[in-house]
Structure 1
Amino acid sequence: AFQCGSFLLWLLLCFCCIDSTSASRQAGMSLLCQSFGHRFWTNHLGARSRTSHRNFQTVSNRIQRRNSSTVLAFQSHSFSNHPKNCNKNKNPLPPSCCFLGRSLTTTAKGATQFPDLPTDIMTSEDDDNTKYTPYEQWVRRLYMTNLFHPVKLGLQNIQQLYQALGHALDNVPVLHVAGTNGKGSVVYKLASTLQAADLNVGMFVSPHISSFRERMQVNGNYITEDQVVEWMPRIYQICEQQDIPATFFEITTALALLFFAEQKVDVVVLETGLGGRLDSTNVLTQPTMAIITSIGLEHTRILGDTIELIALEKGGIIKSGRPVLVGPHVPHDVLRQCAQDKQASGYYISDDLVPPPSSSSPDNTEENLVDYDLENARIAQAALKLLQDMQGDDPQ
């Protein structure tokens, strides 16, 4: 009963914080943190660390010092492009938490309700006077996008964005790569080989290692900070004008497609983010070729808990009238049937196009070499061979 009452009180305070005056918002958040914040945040929002009441008192004090600010505590710093800002206060949260305090207008529309120009969420400095460039401000805003509405699986958001961008890549050849393992390696190998053939090559990969800009490259050159600052407002403006509750990955995909169109690329090598059928990259309906590197158990709560179900999700990138190339370690029966149902122009196995090397063991029996990098190289080589064979029939 106490927990139910706490939950109802929390909802009431949320409405006060969103719709009321600055004074009531400030008072409401103070009451939330001081009265039952510790119990609610840990029990209802899944915070694994048992944060002491004193830490939430610190939150309350910060709210009182900064008018109309909403303080958000997270389990990790994954939403911040500056993890160093975590736990730098004199009375910090536990290591598992991170503050991103900003004055946010949280509505049902989520992040799409933010104005175009930088506001409190995009301030040029943090509480500890850390300075942020315009690029860093936009990336911070992007990383907070998913906090205000649930991620909705489907292609509706990215389809609206892509349409608003004028179907920028409809006439550009695209190699669409999915798979549990090896897809990133295959993407890099394909992009570097095509670039060596004097083509202007766009490449989209995820996640990044050290810089957000790694995700989208042309001829090995990252998108520049100035380009991010120039084009990100355009995408957010589309989201706001058309009521599109786009997620982090959908906005990132739209930015990459816009980047490639502006750079007038000759070909794009596109890596899926998660699965394939409902992945944002699947907004491109006529790729030159679909490539599936391997299938294994991953993200089972989203993609399915069997190899066959996961294969069906990744097989969602197969398109009518286009070939599909698969690696050796996939459920061929499932993917072959998927290709047949979608009327793909052909189903190809990389080992059939580029046979794996073999060696002799000491007892003179043949043994296949097992090297995943070599396997990825063969998949990329098979894709290039298939492209070469297609040139006379279909220039796309």
Structure 2
Amino acid sequence: MHCPPPATPDAVPFFTAQGAAFGLDLSACIQRVLEQGQFVLGPQVRAFETAFADYVGAAHAIGVANGTDALTLALRALGVGPGQRVAAAANAGYYASTAIAQTGAAPQYVEVDEDSLTLAPAALAQALRGADKPAAVIATHLYGRMADMPALAALCAQARVPLVEDAAQAHGAILGGRKAGAWANVACFSFYPTKNLGAVGDGGALTTSDGALAQRLRALRQYGWQQRKYEVALSGGMNSRLDELQAAVLLAKLPHLDAANAARRAVAVHYNAAFAGLPVRCPSRLDESHVAHLYVLRTPRRDALRAHLLAQGVGCEVHYPIADHRQPVRRAESAFALPVTEAACAEVISLPCHPALSPAQIGRVTEAVRAFFSQGGAC
């Protein structure tokens, strides 16, 4: 659900491209690529892949065209295909479901944890029992908060089922001393412009410490070429390459990511303090495992609050209003009982939370939310 931008001159935007630039002159990055004259799989991509792998703590990073392609390629490289099932959450925007469908497999939706809204270990344990196990599991880090990777990874290892991290919303998050992207067989990142580490267009990457898997991924991102150009050695290949322009921008921004994440987290902490005592559910555990990609409140009065915020010039979004198993393309076949997932989809609303917010803008957001509830929650 996309909220239209506020119309008032002093509106608080949900996202700004200027703020996402981290104060850098990104035009210089672009000019450098134009001057070098190589635009696909060149030195900027190689340099970014090396830097990003080092940052995540993985042996390999493979740049691709976008985050959804990364998920699709991860599943294909793991051998997932028609007739198989992939376990995933159903409250994260249908991106994992899209990737699963592109492999010919079917989703097996698993309930999420009431607090984190990420895969519930107990529910996954149930899905992994018996001989009829899913071929893979996708664990999505949602809103900037990492899923319970120690528990999920242990369950998948015990069941001998490969685990994929969807880390598109958790660049730089750390749990148990390990960053998002370093926990699973393979991890997937999006560099869509609104992400914590965003490009100036689409972009994505995979990280893994499995050398053979990395080799398959590099081949699959480029038609299935493995040893020689134009010789297709692997089926299921795609044309999905991170271009030099995006890699140059990401390479310049990467050293500033941790500071930007800290700024986001500070905004979230301020909101939590300001909303204490209100009849809303605020994000919990705002430590280093949560990089505040989104600041998401939960309230049964979500739609009325949304209308109020827009009238007050405060940008907002809803991430995400329709559970995957309730999407029109799946509604007729849905047999999943996911009450926590469905309740969350009906209540979540995202407030502005990015490094470019000024103290005055943060104050306007908090005042607008508090005013709504002081008026009884009526628009």
TM-score normalised according to structure 1 size: 0.25
Q: Which has the higher contact order (CA 8 A, sep 6+)?
A: 2
**Which protein has the bigger helix share?**
1
TM-score normalised according to structure 2 size: 0.26
